[in-house]
A and B are shown apart, each in its own frame.
Chain A
C-alpha cells in the first residue's frame, strides 16, 4: 500500500509538486499519467526515498518515508527511468551485488536473468549491452528482492514491443500475487487496459482518476488539444469545454483549438461539434 498526502516539492524555487495526494492499493496496478513536467517522476523519486518532500507525508507499506526511510525502502523495489549500472561489471555481477546488498540468497540470480531473457548475457559487461538490455536488467533488479511494493518510472521506454508486452504480463502477474504497483508513464497507447486504476497528474497535483480501459479516448497524449470544426451549428460555445485550462484560440476560420485533459470525451459531448481531430 502506498499513501501520499499533500506532497510538495520545489527545485530552485520552482514548485514541482503542489499538494499531491494519491493511494495505490495491493493487488492493483496504478498508473500515474500526465504530460512532461507534470510531476510524475518527482513523485516516484519521493516515494523511492531518493528525495525528501518539502511538505506532506508519504508511507510505503505503513512505514513513513521520512521517519523510517530504510524500513520503507525495504518494502519497495524501484526501477528508474533510465536504469544504468557500473560499466565495468557483468550482468551477473550487478545482480549478485544487489542480492548481497539486500542480504538475499544467490539462488535468485539465475531466475532473475531467465525472467528477462538475459541468461546467456550473464558474463557480458554492462558497457557492451544495448539500451533495451539494460532496461531488461533493470526489470530483473526490480523483481529480484520480491518486495510487496513496486515503483516503475516510465518503464519500457527502450524496450521493443515484444518485451514491452512481456513487462505488462509480468506486472499483471505480480499484481495478481497481491503486490502494490505504481507506475508513471506518458505512453498512454502502450499501457491501455493494463492498469486497474489510472491517475491524471497535472501541474503537481492529481487532477482526477480516469478510465484505465479507455485511456486513448479519455486522455489523448496528456492534456492536449482538440480541434473542433465549425461544421453544423457553428462554433461550439467556449464554456462547453468545462475543464479546458488553456486558451481557446481560433486556429483558422473553420476550426477552434482547445487544450483540455480529455479532448475526445468533451468534444463528443459538444452540441453541434463537427469532429474532433487529435
Chain B
C-alpha cells in the first residue's frame, strides 16, 4: 500500500513538475538568442519560399532544404542552449522532491511546442500565395518531427557535456556526422563486395539516420520519383513504400533513446 502511495505521489509530483518546467521554459525561451535568430531566419526563408513561383513544387522544395540544414541545426542548438541555461542552478533544482526526468521531459515538451508554433513562420507565408496541398501539410508535420528529434539530441549533448562550449561542439559534430558524414561513409563503402552481396545492410545504414529518412521521404513525396527505380531489394522496396511512416518511427525511436539515456545520466548526476 505504501509502495502504491509512493508511486502515485511520484507520478503526481512528476506531472506538476513537468508542467512547471514547461511554463518556465516557454517564458525563458523568449530571450534565447538562438531562438530569436531562428525566428528571423525562418520568417525570411518563409517569405523567400512564398516568392518562388517557378513550379508548384518550388516552395516546398525550398522549405525542404531549409528543414534539412537550418531547422535541424537550430533545433539542436536551442536544445543544447536550454540544457545548459541553468546548469548553475542544478544543486537547487535537484534538491527538490521531483524526479529529475520530469525536468528533462518538461524542457523537451516545451521546446517541441515552441517549434510547433515557430515553424509557422517558415510555412505560413507560402499559404498566402497558394493553397496547401497534402504534401505541404505532411512536410510541416515531418519538419516538426525532425525538429523534435534534434531538440532531443541537443538536450542530450547539453546535459552530458561539462559546459556550454563542449555541449555545442559535441552537438554540431554529431549534426555534421548525420548530415554529411554517414552519407560519405555509405558512399565510400558502397562498392565493397560484401555490401554488393547484402545491399539491405547498406540501406539500413541510411534508414537509421533520421536526416536521411527525412530526405528520402520528402524527395519521394515531393518529386514523385518513380518507385521502380529503387526497387532493388525487399527492404528498400518496403522502405520506399512507407517512407513517411518509417521517418516518424525512426525519429520517435531516436527521441525515446536520447531522452532515456539523458534521463539516466541525470539520475546519476552528482554535484
Q: Report A70-126 residues with CB < 8 Å from chain B CB.
A: 70-71, 73-74, 76, 78, 80, 83-89, 93, 97-98, 100-103
Q: Which residue of chain B lies nearest to A86 when distances are taken between CB atoms in the complex?
A: B86
Residues of B within 8 A of A70 (CB): 6, 9-10, 13, 97-99
A86 touches B28 (CB 8 A): yes
Q: What are the nearest 3 A-B pairs in CB distance?
A: A84-B88, A100-B20, A73-B97
Contact of A50 among B9, B85, B89, B91 (CB under 8 A): B91
Q: Tell yes or no: B16 within 8 A of A by CB.
A: yes
Residues of B within 8 A of A80 (CB): 91-92, 95, 271
- Further 7 A-B residue pairs, CB within 8 A, beyond A50-B91, A84-B86, A89-B28: A48-B95, A50-B95, A51-B270, A73-B97, A80-B95, A84-B89, A101-B17
- On whether A89 and B271 interact (CB within 8 A), knowing A73-B96, A103-B16, A141-B92, the answer reads no
Q: Report B239-271 residues with CB < 8 Å from chain A CB.
A: 270-271
Residues of B within 8 A of A100 (CB): 16, 19-20, 23
Q: How many Å lie between the Cα of A176 and that of B60 in the bound state? A: 69
B24 touches A71 (CB 8 A): no
Residues of B within 8 A of A76 (CB): 95
- On whether A102 and B96 interact (CB within 8 A), knowing A50-B91, A51-B270, the answer reads yes
A97 touches B95 (CB 8 A): no
Q: List 12 A-B contacts (CB under 8 A).
A: A45-B91, A52-B270, A70-B9, A71-B9, A78-B91, A78-B92, A88-B85, A93-B24, A93-B27, A101-B96, A101-B98, A103-B16
**Closest Cβ of chain A: how far from B219's Cβ, in Å?**
39
Chain B residues at the A interface, C-beta cutoff of 8 Å? 6, 9-10, 13, 16-17, 19-21, 23-24, 27-28, 30-32, 85-86, 88-89, 91-92, 94-99, 270-271
Q: Which residue of chain B lies nearest to A93 when distances are taken between CB atoms in the complex?
A: B27
- On whether A85 and B86 interact (CB within 8 A), knowing A50-B91, A71-B6, A101-B16, the answer reads yes
Residues of A within 8 A of B92 (CB): 78, 80, 83-85, 138, 141
Q: Which residue of chain B lies nearest to A73 when distances are taken between CB atoms in the complex?
A: B97
Q: Tell yes or no: A146 within 8 A of B by CB.
A: no
Residues of A within 8 A of B94 (CB): 49-50
- On whether A101 and B20 interact (CB within 8 A), knowing A45-B271, A50-B94, the answer reads yes
Contact of A85 among B21, B89, B95 (CB under 8 A): B89
B85 touches A71 (CB 8 A): no
**Closest Cβ of chain A: how far from B152's Cβ, in Å?**
21
Q: How many Å lie between the Cα of A222 and that of B85 in the bound state? A: 37
Residues of B within 8 A of A36 (CB): none
B270 touches A49 (CB 8 A): no
Q: How many Å lie between the Cα of A80 and that of B27 in the bound state? A: 25
Residues of B within 8 A of A73 (CB): 95-97
Contact of B31 among A71, A83, A88, A97 (CB under 8 A): A88
Residues of B within 8 A of A78 (CB): 91-92, 95
Q: How many Å lie between the Cα of A89 and that of B86 in the bound state? A: 10
Q: How many Å lie between the Cα of A193 and that of B253 in the bound state? A: 59
**Closest Cβ of chain A: how far from B24's Cβ, in Å?**
5
**Closest Cβ of chain A: how far from B53's Cβ, in Å?**
41
